Structure 1
Amino acid sequence: MTSEQKRIFIVEDEVLIAFEMADALEDLGFEVVGPSTHLGNALDMAQDMEIDMACLDVNLGKGKTSEPIAKILAARGIPYVYITAYDVGQIPFIDPNDNVLQKPVSMGDLRRLLIKATEEE
């Protein structure tokens, strides 16, 4: 890992999407942590793993969301990007200052937003 390479944590409940995102982010030069497809595992990883930033799918299925993961990351000072297929206005815990991308995600847009999120630290 180079000093410039960022460790990025992926939380996505759809396994195929998670691994496609991991491959794309590795191609962009990130070191991928995870991906995590379950809330419990993601909470543990968000608390304990050495990561520089995260991509969080908003809806993790069965009524679960990535909100508690985001809270842990925020408390640790780790920037994150929410990724969702829903209209942002439908998600009560998303703050207007949060970084959000709509699905389907363009890897170029994701990279730009991750750079922006890192600069806001």
Structure 2
Amino acid sequence: MTDSVRRVFIVEDEIMVAFEMVDLLEDMGFEIVGPSIHLEDAEAIARKQDIDIAFLDVNLGSGQTSQPVAETLRSRGIPFVFITAYNRDQIDFIDSGDKVLKKPLSGDMLARTLTQIEP
């Protein structure tokens, strides 16, 4: 864990996955923002909250994606990582420089990713 990354925002529509991520990250000493399971809530948090990094599930159900949340975070200069069961090339809105983690996630994957991200 880096000293500068403390507040982690989680956007994940599968409630069990979201709570598993919360448990893993809290055990590592991070403060969790969210989790958000709905796009509207996620967008509001992305616009206003103090966030160091975010993990964004690509598919939020009902035809919604986390793309608007990513755009808001990008405009605020907040790093984020997409999480998905899809292959990177199946997602048309991911930029070449965007970090993508493939589900299922592990605590090890989250920890490694957090040490590689520059806030």
**Corresponding residue of 1:93:** 93
> Aligned-pair distance for 1:4?
5.0
Identity %: 55
**Corresponding residue of 2:46:** 46
Give the TM-score taking structure 2 as reference length: 0.93
**Corresponding residue of 1:65:** 65
Distance change (3 Å), C-alpha of 1:112 and 1:92: same
Is the 8 Å Cα contact of residues 10 and 56 (structure 2) preserved in structure 1? yes
Instruction: Please provide the CA RMSD for this pair.
Output: 1.3
In 2: Cα distance, 1:111 partner to 1:93 partner: 25
Q: Secondary structure at the match of 1:60?
A: strand
Whose strand proportion is higher, 1 or 2? 2
Is the 8 Å Cα contact of residues 5 and 53 (structure 2) preserved in structure 1? no
- Gap regions ≥5 residues in structure 1: none
Residue identity opposite 1:54 in structure 2: A
> Aligned-pair distance for 1:5?
5.7
Is the 8 Å Cα contact of residues 8 and 52 (structure 1) preserved in structure 2? yes
Give the paired residue count: 117
**Corresponding residue of 1:112:** 112
By relative contact order (CA 8 Å, sep 6+), the higher-ranking structure is 2
**Corresponding residue of 1:81:** 81
Residue by residue over 1:29-66, the C-alpha shift from the partner in whole angstroms, topping out at 9 and shown as x without a partner, is 11001000000000000000111110000000011000
Give the TM-score taking structure 1 as reference length: 0.92
Is the 8 Å Cα contact of residues 5 and 52 (structure 2) preserved in structure 1? no
Residue identity opposite 1:96 in structure 2: S
Q: Summarize the alignment of residues 16-35 of structure 1 with structure 2, pairs less than 5 Å apart.
A: 16-35=16-35
Is the 8 Å Cα contact of residues 7 and 30 (structure 2) preserved in structure 1? yes
Q: Secondary structure at the match of 2:117?
A: helix
